[in-house]
């Protein structure tokens, strides 16, 4: 028996509606997790950075990985330092540090450190070094 396009679409819409209106979990069952952005004090980090640097939380995706929250430090020339937890569920643990000379260049992995506090110190050092050498120093 051949169905009309209209009948076919109506059947498909009913199946879709049944699937989407199935049992749902109450919001109370959803767990919250701390992220790296929850574990930083932006003002504290900003005080360690040279003038004209911003500290932001961003959601990014690295190749082959799911979305993750990172802490991004950016200077007025677009130079970025990214702090990314190695394990999403351990935001104060091992942190990968990436730099990016500008929004049009690819980010470079600099190093992995053992803790978020160590990453903050290392990132502040990169920023200070860049500040001393001037904005043209992409190697910093």
pTM over 0.75: no
Binned at pLDDT 50, 70 and 90, residue 22 comes out as: low
- In the 3-class helix/strand/coil scheme, how is the chain assigned residue by residue? CCCCHHHHHHHHHHHHHHHHCCCCCCHHHCCCCCCHHHHCCHHHHHHHCCCCEEEEEEEEECCCCCEEEEEEEEECCCCEEEEEECCCCCCCCCEEEEEECCCCCCCEEEEEECCHHHHHHHHHHHHHHHHHHCCCCCCC
User: Residue 18 has what pLDDT?
Assistant: 79
- Per-chain mean pLDDT for the chain: 86
Counting residues of the chain whose pLDDT is more than 90, the rounded percentage is 46
> pLDDT tens across 55-107, in order?
999 999 888 888 899 999 999 999 999 999 999 889 999 999 999 998 889 99
Binned at pLDDT 50, 70 and 90, residue 6 comes out as: confident
């Amino acid at each position: 028996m051949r169905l009309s396009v209209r009948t076919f679409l109506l059947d498909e819409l009913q199946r879709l509606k049944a699937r989407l209106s199935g049992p749902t979990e109450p919001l109370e069952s959803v767990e919250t997790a701390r992220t790296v952005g929850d574990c930083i004090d932006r003002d504290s980090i900003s005080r360690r950075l040279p003038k004209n640097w911003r500290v932001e939380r961003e959601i990014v995706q690295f190749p082959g990985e799911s979305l993750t929250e990172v802490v991004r430090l950016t200077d007025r020339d677009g130079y970025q330092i990214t702090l990314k937890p190695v394990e999403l569920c351990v935001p104060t643990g091992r942190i990968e540090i990436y730099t990016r000379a500008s929004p049009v260049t690819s980010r470079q992995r600099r190093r992995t450190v053992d803790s978020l506090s160590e990453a903050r110190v290392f990132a502040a050092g990169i920023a200070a070094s860049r500040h001393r050498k001037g904005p043209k120093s992409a190697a910093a």
